[in-house]
Amino acid sequence: MTEEQKKNTEKKTDEKIVQEEKTTEEKKTEEKTEEKEKTEEKEKTEEKKEVNSGGEISMEKITSLLKDMMKGVKKYEDKNREKIKVVENPPSIEEICERLKNDEFKNVVVMCGAGISVSAGIPDFRSADGLYKQLDGFELPYPEAIFDISYFKEKPEPFFRLAKNLYPGNFVPTKTHYFFKLLEQKGILQRVFTQNIDTLERVSGLSSDKIVEAHGSFGEATCQSCGAKYDHLEFKPTILKGEVPRCTKCKTGVVKPDIVFFGEGLPEKFWDLKKKDFPKADLLIVIGTSLVVQPFSTLINDVTDECPRLLINREVVGKFSEGNIYSFLMGGGSSGGFKFGRQDNSRDLKLIGDADEGIQKLVDLCGWSEEFEEILKHRNEILKTIKKKEEEKKENTEKKENDKQEKEEEKEK
């Protein structure tokens, strides 16, 4: 074999080795790719099985999927932000009041919370000096436990100790409550959706069909064992003593006021009228609520895009957040939440301050002061009655003490 032939043979051998190495590497890469694809396919199949079989998907997986969805939403918004020509231009308070005055609104829907009853002497829940901050002596595992149905079933005593201080009859409706009555008299109130359990909407004279007590009330009660129904007057004396009322029928069950606790479903009336009222609302007033508790908090997203939304509150709440997964899910993407400060805000406005002060401003701007004062006479009559009862109670107490003292003096003689 010549030198040249020898070189050619060696070259071919080297090329063959390189080719074989390449083939081996390619095979390994292909195998890895196939293995990865099979693993991914298997994971997808497992996920489908989990969903189809009703099995649970981990929160990590759900959160990851939601984050991916929100990234897509944000990319879309960022891409289209420049296309939005609207500068923030919601109607002013004066414009809203002018339209109210001119009967342009026919279906006003109100959402309200504990903030409207603060001036009546009932504490709200989440403020610095609110109800949850006043439960230190109740030995609760956490403040919200006092309204947790699981905890109530084990230990009903703490709730009834609190209930005697919240019980209807101890408080008088506020200006805000009577404003709702004024809207009803004018024939423009569609509904009041309230989170409150104090029944002050009823006490103000508002028609029962205009009220949706989303979280129930003290008005009625139910035995937790046999389901027997009671009017609040039947168990009022027991509650005012701070004691646990027991069923007179089954003799053992605890009689619980029809307040919706954490872990219980909302009344059917809430769901039925939610579907009916919000799509036809032409003005939404949100007042005295933290908009924290769902599903109540999501109702602000159920009105049409043309419906003005007025917030009257001590602080801004329910504000739209681009990165908020729950706003996206509950509010339908970028339409969820108040759009204060956003360039695409064309309908959301706010009055920051106490509920009664905000309502008084609306009344004055609408030119309804005289009518409102007439309605408030009802409140004044209640106040007079309460004052009279307190004076009578004081006189009776003093009389008893005097009688007791006279008897003791007679014994000494």
Cα separation, 135 vs 210, in Å, equals: 33
Instruction: Specify the range with the lowest mean pLDDT, choosing from 9-13, 80-84, 131-135.
Output: 80-84
The mean pLDDT value for 289-308 works out to: 93
Residue for token pair 């080297």 = 14
pLDDT of amino acid 346: 93
pLDDT of amino acid 325: 46
More confident residue, 236 or 1: 236
pLDDT of amino acid 6: 55
In this model, does residue 84 exceed pLDDT 60?
no
pLDDT of amino acid 151: 93
Are 171 and 204 spatial neighbours (Cβ–Cβ below 8 Å)?
A: no
By residue count, the chain amounts to 413
Q: Give residue 232's pLDDT band: very low, low, confident or very high (50, 70, 90).
A: confident
In this model, does residue 57 exceed pLDDT 70?
no
> How far out from the chain centre does Cα 237 lie?
31
Angle between helices 369-412 and 175-185 (to 10 degrees): 140
Instruction: Specify the range with the lowest mean pLDDT, choosing from 14-18, 30-34, 236-240, 295-299.
Output: 14-18
CATH code for 123-170+217-259?
Answer: 3.30.1600.10
Cα separation, 43 vs 51, in Å, equals: 12
Amino acid identity of 291?
Answer: L
In this model, does residue 125 exceed pLDDT 90?
no
Task: State which of 123-127, 146-150, 319-323, 326-330 shows the largest mean pLDDT.
Answer: 146-150
Tens-place pLDDT, residues 213-229 = 999 998 899 999 999 99
Q: Which own/partner contact pairs does 273-278 have at CB distance under 8 Å and 24+ positions apart?
A: 273/191, 273/193, 273/212, 274/193, 274/212, 274/299, 274/302, 277/107, 277/109, 277/190, 277/191, 277/193, 278/109, 278/302, 278/303
pLDDT of amino acid 332: 38
Binding residue numbers for Zn(2+) = 223, 226, 247, 250
Cβ contacts of 67 within 8 Å, gap of 6 or more: 325
In this model, does residue 330 exceed pLDDT 70?
no
Which percentage of the chain shows pLDDT scores above 70? 70
What is the pTM assigned to this prediction?
Answer: 0.70
In this model, does residue 333 exceed pLDDT 50?
no
Q: Which residues are catalytic?
A: 215
Helices (H), 53-194: 59-80, 93-101, 149-154, 157-166, 175-185
Pairing status of strand 283-287 against strand 108-112:
parallel
Q: Indicate the domain borders of the chain.
A: 66-121+173-215+267-388, 123-170+217-259
Tens-place pLDDT, residues 135-160 = 766 778 887 888 899 999 999 998 98
Instruction: Specify the range with the lowest mean pLDDT, choosing from 62-76, 102-116, 140-154, 164-178.
Output: 62-76
More confident residue, 343 or 313: 313
Are 120 and 200 spatial neighbours (Cβ–Cβ below 8 Å)?
A: yes
In this model, does residue 39 exceed pLDDT 70?
no
The mean pLDDT value for 1-5 works out to: 59
The string of DSSP codes covering 322-347 is: TT-HHHHHHHTGGGSSB-TT-TT-SS
More confident residue, 55 or 166: 166
More confident residue, 151 or 386: 151
The mean pLDDT value for 178-196 works out to: 97
Please name the fold of domain 66-121+173-215+267-388.
Rossmann fold (3.40.50)
pLDDT of amino acid 49: 46
Helices (H), 102-252: 149-154, 157-166, 175-185, 200-203, 232-240
More confident residue, 43 or 325: 43
Pairing status of strand 189-194 against strand 108-112:
parallel
Instruction: Specify the range with the lowest mean pLDDT, choosing from 199-203, 351-355, 367-371.
Output: 199-203
CA angle 148, 152, 156 (to 5 degrees): 140
